[in-house]
């Protein structure tokens, strides 16, 4: 399990309006994978044992290759979580901005396990408890399935990106853990790309090197293929 360590203080999360306890139900499969995943998460300080009045059920998701991925069903918890202002642009609005400001050449950076890279304050962790093999566990970091994880993650990455010094000829777009650089100057973009990687790594984020795209004319960003100044 690869995780970063974002250089931000542990995040203080909103407390739910009330305690939510949902018992673990019978699973369709994935017991071995879940047990192994929990041990791996404990080793890198993503989960820890706990005793909490909260509980949400583990729900494994079957992958195309027949193995199982561990998830926890936090839908009941999310229903009693106070709202938070959504600082993330909608996909529609972001696409509109891109259409107006898109350059000719593009570069894509994908960050790895960004939620798991963000520590949470101990007093906020008990709400994420789940039970497995007779033991209760909880997350010590932001997690998949929590209502406000995308907004919090987006905001922290935005703070770090705002400190990056780059050429004005290079425009930056960012959606949670996906980052796009675009410019009409290939040489300026080629200069900005390694600078951005160094900046992100210096702030504790891990880059998925295998998913870096460009610099080039054609890239895929948020499920859309962008080529030159347009998309298909």
Residue 95 belongs to domain with CATH number: 3.30.70.270
Total structural domains within the chain: 1
Rounded CA gap, 120 and 196, in Å? 26
3-state secondary structure of 221: strand
The reply to whether 2 falls in a domain is no
Residues 215/106, Cβ–Cβ less than 8 Å: yes
Q: Is residue 6 part of a domain?
A: no
**Between the CA of residue 32 and those of 48, 69, 128, 132, 138, what are the distances in Å?**
19, 10, 22, 11, 19
Structural domain boundaries enclosing 189: 31-223
Cβ 85 vs Cβ 109: under 8 Å: no
Establish if 67 belongs to a structural domain.
yes
In a domain, 111, yes or no: yes
- CA–CA separation, 113 and 107 (whole Å): 20
User: Do the domain assignments include residue 24?
Assistant: no
- Does 5 reside within a domain? no
Per-residue pLDDT of the chain (232 residues; tens, 9 = 90+): 789 999 999 999 999 999 999 988 877 777 888 999 999 999 999 999 999 999 999 988 878 887 888 899 999 999 999 998 877 777 778 877 877 788 899 999 999 999 999 999 999 999 999 999 889 999 999 999 999 999 999 999 999 999 999 888 999 999 999 999 999 999 999 999 999 999 999 999 999 999 999 898 888 888 888 777 666 6
Q: Is residue 37 part of a domain?
A: yes
**pLDDT of 105-142, one tens digit each?**
999 999 999 999 999 999 999 999 999 988 999 999 99
Close Cβ partners of 146 (under 8 Å, ≥ 6 residues apart): 74, 77, 78, 81, 128
Asked whether residue 7 is domain-assigned, the answer is no
Q: Where are the beta strands (DSSP E) in 111-160?
A: 130-132, 135-139
């Amino acid at each position: 399990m690869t995780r970063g360590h974002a250089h931000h203080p542990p995040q203080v999360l909103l407390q739910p309006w009330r305690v939510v306890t949902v018992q673990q139900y019978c699973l369709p499969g994935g017991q071995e994978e879940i047990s192994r995943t929990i041990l791996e998460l404990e080793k890198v300080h993503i989960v820890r044992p706990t005793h909490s009045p909260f509980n949400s059920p583990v729900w494994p998701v079957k992958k195309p290759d027949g193995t199982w991925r561990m998830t926890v069903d936090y839908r009941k918890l999310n229903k009693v979580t106070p709202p938070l202002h959504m600082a993330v642009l909608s996909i529609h609005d972001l696409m509109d901005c891109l259409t107006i400001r898109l350059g000719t050449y593009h570069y894509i950076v994908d960050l790895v396990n960004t939620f798991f890279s963000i520590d949470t304050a101990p007093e906020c962790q008990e709400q994420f408890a789940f039970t497995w093999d007779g033991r209760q566990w909880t997350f010590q970091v932001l997690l998949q399935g929590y209502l406000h994880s995308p907004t919090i993650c987006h905001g922290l990455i935005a703070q770090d990106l705002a400190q990056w010094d780059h050429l004005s000829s290079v425009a930056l777009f960012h959606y949670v853990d996906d980052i796009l650089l675009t410019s009409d100057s290939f040489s300026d973009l080629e200069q900005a790309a390694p600078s951005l990687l160094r900046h992100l790594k210096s702030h504790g984020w891990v880059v998925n090197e295998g998913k870096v795209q460009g610099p080039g004319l054609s890239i895929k960003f948020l499920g859309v293929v962008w080529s030159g100044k347009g998309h298909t």
